[in-house]
Structure formats: structure tokens, C-alpha cells
Amino acid sequence: MADRQLKLGFILHGVGPGWDDWRHPDAQVDASTSLPFYVRQAQAAERGKFDYLFVADSVSINARSSPHYLNRFEPLTILSAVAAVTDRIGLVATSTVSYNEPFNLARQFASLDHLSGGRAGWNVVTSWLAGSADNYGKAEHLGHAERYRLADEYLDVVKGLWDSWEDDALVRDKASGQFLNADKLHELGHKGEFLSVKGPLNISRSPQGQPVIFQAGSSEDGRTFAARHAEAIFTHQEDLAEGQAFYADLKARARGFGRDPEKLFILPGARPVVGSTEEEAERLHGELAGLVSLENALRALGRSFNDHNFSQYDPDGAFPAHVAEEGRKSNQSASEKVLAAAAQGLTLGQIALRVATPKGGFVGTPEQLADRFQLWLEKRGSDGFNLFESLPGQLEVFVDQVVPILQQRGIYKQDYAGKTFRENLGLDVPVNRNTAARLTRSAA
């Protein structure tokens, strides 16, 4: 067995990440709010020993939003439901620090961690589309740098709440009648730039101590934040060299914060299309690409650029440069990818269609897919992948045909190593700050 094992996540996304995916003949059109659909996918991913399920999120829509954003389950509720019918797979919910009370968020994640037997993960997001603030009575969005300052403080508060109970605070001794050891329950007493939270949390420390922290932004501030706090990064490189550069940068930054870089997993998104032959795989990818209209591809592109209206430009012309500049403020990574494609001479329409149905080298036979995954792992382009289901049924195909090859090659686990998500990822339970302080005091 290889030293480093490939980590795999599966993104539960209902009708599919592409604008027109729902039009596929086999697509279930109401998938986004169907518990049976989610359970079927979750159980298939668990059969394939996937490390985790991932639910993305956003908090505002309008009539121009894509089917996938428009109507979907809220992450914490759907993952709580999925927890009850799965056993070992991690459950990563996206939640924003901008519009959730930290006490509520800390509590719901701790609750999910308890009820899942230690399988919760939190994908921390700060960047939202224009319009979100209006759903929360906020005058406006914070600026990019300010958002990350809030995120730093927020994370400290949430971790502090998770630590407000020491592991052995609950005595629960029937004979003596002592339920709680009050010395091991701690107020947080936080008063900072953005937040003021007293604590303690009203749920005990959960099996993982703290849910696993994911992060998904790749701007400069996002990278710093991830290197400091995250245990896994959901990223978007499609090219190995690009992946390697990102990988090396993030691992170096983590080292810079005194962290073990092997405890920060870099996980690009991938949308594999598996066929029994190369031709079949290409035909299937063609089915997928054929679903997308230019109009919707342009709208999808707009979503990464503050809901910009790209239909006003000639699709056979160049990508409008001033828009890319604007986009850097809201979604830096999308913007950079588009600029790179424009530099290659692609037209606006070509860029939109490419973004709508990325190939990313993940179209091929099971052997080819396994080769590709192995290459990225061994060349340190990533530590694994975050998989989207490209076409209905592809998750099952992947589990039945690609996973066994990865296992045979010794780069993917035969079974889960433990019970909790942290155990399965090889991550330690974070030291409880209050226990640490107690030990320091008693040593002094």
C-alpha cells in the first residue's frame, strides 16, 4: 500500500452542477429536494468508501439563477437526514460566516457531529453573490479583506464554543448524583471586532472534538485563511501543472503557520465521465456538452461575475476585459481561469461553453481515470478529488469500475480506517484549549 492514499469526496448536488443537466433523459428533475435521491447517492458513495459527502451552498437567488442554485436543500438539514442512513462517510456542509450567528452555527455542527457519530465537516465560506445581504437586512456586503478578518474571528469563536466543554465534563455518576463537573464547563467570553459571544455552548464536546474544517476560496486572502485554518481545500485546477503550483503554494503556507502540511488536503473538483471505451466516454461527454445552450452557458458564466449579463456581447468576440477585473473582487479563481482561456485566444462563447462542461482530463475508461488520479496524487497535484456526478448513473459506474482499480493499485483504502471522519482522514482531534490551559496551570 502506498504511503499517501487518495482522498475522495462526492458532491451531492441534486439536479447536477450544469445549467441544463436536468434535461438529460435519465435525469430526475426533482432531485434537488428528493431525500430518496440524496440517500441513494450517499449510500452509493459510502459503498465506494468515499471519504465524505459535500453539500455546496449559496443564500440568494433570482429568476435568472441556474436550476442547481435555484431550489435545493439547506446543507445542515439534508446532511443530518443522510447521517441517519449512513455509517462511516464524512458529511461536509457549507455555511457562511456572513449570515449565521456563530452560536447557532457551532451548535448545529456539534449536533450533526454527535448524531453522526463524529462525521461532520464545515466548509467555511465568506464570499457570496451580490444580493445575499438583502436577505439578511444588511446594508451591504463586507469587502474582501474585511470578510476574511471576520472569518478569522468567527472561526476562533466557533472553535472556542466547541471547546467550551472539556471531554470529561459530563460525569453522569448515578450513585453520587453528579451529572456535570462544573470546573470543566467554560464560558468563552469573547468580545472582538465583529463578534461578542459569551458561551458556553449548550451541547457537549462532540466525538471529533471539532468538525473537520474545509475551505473553498483561492484568492490571496482565501489561501492564507485556508493555510491557517483548513484541513481540506476544495479547489478547481484542471491542469496538472496548475494543480502542482497551487498544491505547493498551500502546503508551504501551511508550513509557514507551523502546521504539518500533510494534514491539509488539497482536493480539486472533477467531473469524471467513465466509458467502457474511450469512444464511449467521449460520446457520453458529448451528451453532456450537447445539453448546454450557449444562452445558459453565458448565464452560468455570469454567476461567477456578480451576475454580469454576458448576452450583451458578441459570443464570437473576445472576453470583455473590464468584466474580468470586476470579477476579481467577488470570485478571484473563476476570474483567473477565464483570463487564462482568453489569453489562449478563445472567444467569449467558447469560454462559456468550456466552463459549462469542463473535461479536465477526466473523460475516459476506468483505467485511464485511475491513471489520471494516480498521476495527480503521485505528482502532488492534489491529495484526492471532490467528484461531481457528470451524468445520471456515473457515480455507480465510478464506484463499480474505477474504485476497484484504485484499490488494487494500493492508492485507495479497502475500507474505512475508523469510525469518525477525522480517524478516516488521519487527522488528530484538536486539543481542547481549556484542557490545555488547565494542564499548563497545574504544571506551573
Counting residues that bind a copy of itself (by CB under 8 A) gives 72
Interacting residues of 377 by C-beta distance below 8 A, sequence separation 6+: 4, 6, 383, 384, 411
In the complex, minimum distance from the CB of residue 18 to a copy of itself, in angstroms, rounded to a whole number: 12
Judged by CB under 8 A, the chain residues 238 through 267 that form the site for a copy of itself are none
In the complex, minimum distance from the CB of residue 114 to a copy of itself, in angstroms, rounded to a whole number: 4
| 167 lines the binding site for a copy of itself (CB under 8 A) | no
| 70 lines the binding site for a copy of itself (CB under 8 A) | yes
Q: Which of 1, 2, 4, 29 binds a copy of itself (CB under 8 A)?
A: 29
**Contact criterion met (CB below 8 Å) for 231 and 124:** no
Interacting residues of 274 by C-beta distance below 8 A, sequence separation 6+: 281, 284, 364, 365, 366, 369, 394, 397, 398, 401, 402
Question: What track of x and - describes contact with a copy of itself for positions 185 through 204 (by CB under 8 A)?
Answer: x---------xxxxxx-xxx
Residue number with CB closer to a copy of itself (103 or 305): 103
Under DSSP, the state recorded for 364 is: E
> Parallel, antiparallel, or unpaired for β 265-270 and 232-235?
parallel
In the complex, minimum distance from the CB of residue 54 to a copy of itself, in angstroms, rounded to a whole number: 17
Q: Which of 23, 40, 328, 419 binds a copy of itself (CB under 8 A)?
A: 23
| 35 lines the binding site for a copy of itself (CB under 8 A) | yes
Residue number with CB closer to a copy of itself (32 or 335): 32
- For 122-153, b/e burial (b = at least 16 CB within 10 A) is bbbbbbbbebbbeeeeeeebbebeebbbbbbb
Q: Which of 140, 174, 415, 440 binds a copy of itself (CB under 8 A)?
A: 174
**Contact criterion met (CB below 8 Å) for 61 and 70:** yes
> Parallel, antiparallel, or unpaired for β 212-215 and 120-125?
parallel
Distance of CA 168 to the CA centre of its chain: 31
| 73 lines the binding site for a copy of itself (CB under 8 A) | yes
Q: Which three cell numbers stand for residue 185?
A: 464547563
Judged by CB under 8 A, the chain residues 80 through 119 that form the site for a copy of itself are 80-85, 99-101, 103-104, 107-108, 110-112, 114-117
In the complex, minimum distance from the CB of residue 79 to a copy of itself, in angstroms, rounded to a whole number: 8
| 421 lines the binding site for a copy of itself (CB under 8 A) | no
Beta bridge partners of 122: 93, 213
Q: Which candidate, 286, 296, 240, 288, places its Cα nearest to that of 390? A: 288
Q: Which of 50, 54, 122, 165 binds a copy of itself (CB under 8 A)?
A: 165
In whole angstroms, what is the distance from residue 175 CA to residue 159 CA? 33
In the complex, minimum distance from the CB of residue 210 to a copy of itself, in angstroms, rounded to a whole number: 16
Q: Which three cell numbers stand for residue 390?
A: 457528470
∠ Cα 65 67 70 (to 5°): 55
Work out the angle between the directed axes of helices 332-343 and 321-330 (0-180°, nearest 10).
Answer: 150
Judged by CB under 8 A, the chain residues 340 through 359 that form the site for a copy of itself are none
Helices and strands, counts by H and E, the chain? 17, 14
In the complex, minimum distance from the CB of residue 16 to a copy of itself, in angstroms, rounded to a whole number: 12
Under DSSP, the state recorded for 101 is: -
Residue number with CB closer to a copy of itself (67 or 358): 67
| 214 lines the binding site for a copy of itself (CB under 8 A) | no
Residue number with CB closer to a copy of itself (73 or 421): 73
| 40 lines the binding site for a copy of itself (CB under 8 A) | no
Residue number with CB closer to a copy of itself (37 or 313): 37
In the complex, minimum distance from the CB of residue 378 to a copy of itself, in angstroms, rounded to a whole number: 39
Residue number with CB closer to a copy of itself (136 or 257): 136
Interacting residues of 113 by C-beta distance below 8 A, sequence separation 6+: 119, 120, 206, 207, 208, 211
Q: Which of 8, 12, 45, 59 binds a copy of itself (CB under 8 A)?
A: 59
| 63 lines the binding site for a copy of itself (CB under 8 A) | yes
Beta bridge partners of 121: 92, 212
Residue number with CB closer to a copy of itself (202 or 277): 202
- Calculate the alpha carbon distances from 45 to 12, 13, 31, 39 in Å: 10, 13, 16, 10
| 33 lines the binding site for a copy of itself (CB under 8 A) | yes
Residue number with CB closer to a copy of itself (80 or 219): 80
Judged by CB under 8 A, the chain residues 291 through 320 that form the site for a copy of itself are 293
Cite the annotated binding site for FMN by residue number.
57, 94, 144, 148, 218-219
